[in-house]
Amino acid sequence: QQRVFVGDMQRFNTVEIRPQTRAGDILDAVARQGELKDEALSEAGGWMLWEIAQEFGMERPLRNYELPNEVYASWNSNTRMNAFMIKRTPLAAVLARNAIPASSPTFGGYIQWESKRGKWTKRWMELREHSLWLCKNNTGKDSTFLCSLSNFDCYYVSRLHKAPKPFVFAVKSTDNLTLFENPADYLHIFACDQNDGSCWMERILLARSYVLHKERTVL
């Protein structure tokens, strides 16, 4: 039995989450309990189950075919800070099963990368081969591999973060932190303008959807 919050941390339902339970199954279960009424404007998007990673101050929507039990297993069992929450998002259409791209998306642009805590560096970032690469400029020379979306996903940074640009997002491993020799490899934080940030989020999330479909066959 697992608490699943609805809309905020004040209201929750208790749902049984088995190893084979998908995020969409949890939405269906809570809807049957009468909780997911059309109380918000349609512009707010569809209902999705979110991972609220409070220990890192970030969150992301789970695709309806993802397994929340795997997400739960990646959490730090000592802190018990994280939670599942159902809320609306325009990303529901982007992350739907029928929106999985036929090929892995590519993208590139300048971002601010938090190379060390509190230290931001301007870098050209590329999304290709469902991986992220950093370069000093847009020639693509001397590119440095950052992470593969085989085991990383994209997150909104929800905690107030002192950053040089208004939109802050992150890519974080979907594995447990204990598997990393260097904790700095577990999480990467970026900042950019709002429009660029929305584009980055959408492309990275779609690339991860592609990987889940092709490599892990979770559908």
**Closest residue by Cα to residue 194 from 126, 116, 111:** 111
pLDDT band (50, 70, 90) for residue 42: low
Q: Is 96 exposed, middle or buried (0-12, 13-18, 19+ CB in 10 A)?
A: middle
**Whole-number pLDDT of residue 176:** 87
Would you state the torsion angle of the CA atoms of residues 106, 112, 115, 118, taken in this order, to the nearest 10 degrees?
Answer: -150
Q: Give the 3-state secondary structure of residue 147.
A: strand
Share of the chain above pLDDT 90, in %: 71
User: Is 90 exceeded by the pLDDT of residue 160?
Assistant: no
The model carries a pTM of 0.91
The per-residue pLDDT for range 109-147, each reduced to its tens digit, is: 999 999 999 999 999 999 999 999 999 988 877 899 999
**Closest residue by Cα to residue 101 from 61, 130, 67:** 130
Please give the residue that has the higher pLDDT: either 15 or 141.
15
Q: Is the dihedral of CA 153, 156, 157, 162 positive or negative?
A: positive
Q: Is 206 exposed, middle or buried (0-12, 13-18, 19+ CB in 10 A)?
A: buried
131 touches 145 (CB < 8 A): yes
